[in-house]
Amino acid sequence: MGIKQVADYAGVSIATVSRVLNKSANVSEVKRKKVLDAVKTLGYRPNDLARGLRNMPTSTIGVIIPDITNPFFPSVIRGAGDILHEADITPMIYNSDGNIDIEIEQIKTLISKRVDGLLFMHSEESKRVIDLIESANMPVVFLDRVEDGRFASVKSDNYGGMKIIMDYAYSLGHRDYWYIGGESKVSSARERLQAVFDFERDHSDISIKYASTTFSYEGGLWAFELLKKKFSIPTIIICGNDLIAFGAIDACLKNKLRVPYDISVTGFDDGFLAAHYNPPLTTVAQSPYDLGATGAKLLLEFISGKRKRAVTRVLPIRLIIRQSTTQL
Ligand code: RIB
């Protein structure tokens, strides 16, 4: 005996039977009476086990990152993983490869697996994704890239970090800049770019030329050649992340420019390679491990019901001075 037999007997839809059994308000009295009579006549007992299972936690959470080849993101997972392991929760990790359609399919899969929550580093802001997440009524914490104030998020002080490195470059005597930033479809790239815009507004004695690319080594190579075609070579290249900086450094070398003697280069992240590149990279250190750990702790508070309201945590950054920059 199932809910479909009750619906057929009462001459109503399965959804109506479900609403009556869940004591929902929006059912007419006539239909409610038909359903209750059918339940009584057929001796139907709702499958409490199935209902119970549907609402039981699974002790799993989803983690979606946009680019598993970028060492920043596995470090985020490492931080989250340590917290989740302590809580006996299994992370289900997906790489969207920066593809929004893949991201949506992965979220649908996680919803079907009834994960208890989602740690989300999106590849771009998307109403389609937000609608899907809201329809699932699932706890979500955005990491590194913020969607909007409705959702809890953890990020680094992107604006402050880029301001510090611009101030440092200026203190070295640089007045002629290129800025090669990440694509503005993510908030971390936009916040860093805004710091450069504001710096340019506040310093009338400098020149800055801009390019936007992917947060990647290839992006740095490509953007250097693009700017070289249009503008004279500057004294410093400020990059939106370390991978772009590594590409820019190698583009300089291909163009017979010695770093830092002919041109300085800076990055943002301070991943493992930054200290070991040739030359070691001046950059802004953020802590992806802490970002992941803080996000996981927040998500567990939402899942347990201890926290209800969205909050944004901003983690500090540090300027790391190495040999890829020099005094003019
Ligand atoms: O390196 C990847 C970049 O994308 C990092 O700077 C991180 O902040 C993310 O936004």
pLDDT of residue 136: 86
pLDDT of residue 54: 60
pLDDT of residue 90: 93
pLDDT of residue 214: 96
Say what the pTM is: 0.83
pLDDT of residue 41: 83
Question: Does the beta carbon of 268 sit less than 6 angstroms from any atom of ligand 1?
Answer: yes
pLDDT of residue 6: 87
Question: Does the beta carbon of 144 sit less than 6 angstroms from any atom of ligand 1?
Answer: yes
pLDDT of residue 49: 57
Q: Which amino acid is at 278?
A: N
176-182 and 318-320 as β-strands: parallel, antiparallel, unpaired? Answer: unpaired
Distance 188 CA to ligand 1 centre (A): 7
Distance 121 CA to ligand 1 centre (A): 10
- CA torsion sign for 315, 316, 320, 325 is positive
Question: Does the beta carbon of 215 sit less than 6 angstroms from any atom of ligand 1?
Answer: yes
Q: Which residues of the chain have pLDDT under 50?
A: none
Domains annotated for the chain, with CATH where assigned, are 1-46 (1.10.260.40), 47-156+289-315 (3.40.50.2300), 158-285 (3.40.50.2300)
Task: Tell me, letter by letter, the H, E, C secondary structure of 63-115.
Answer: EEECCCCCCHHHHHHHHHHHHHHHCCCEEEEEECCCCHHHHHHHHHHHHHCCC
- Pick from 64, 65, 69, 72 the residue to mutate for probing ligand 1's pocket: most ligand atoms within 8 Å of its CB: 72
Q: Which two tokens stand for residue 274?
A: 């930054």
pLDDT of residue 42: 83
Closest atom of ligand 1 to 271 CA is: 1
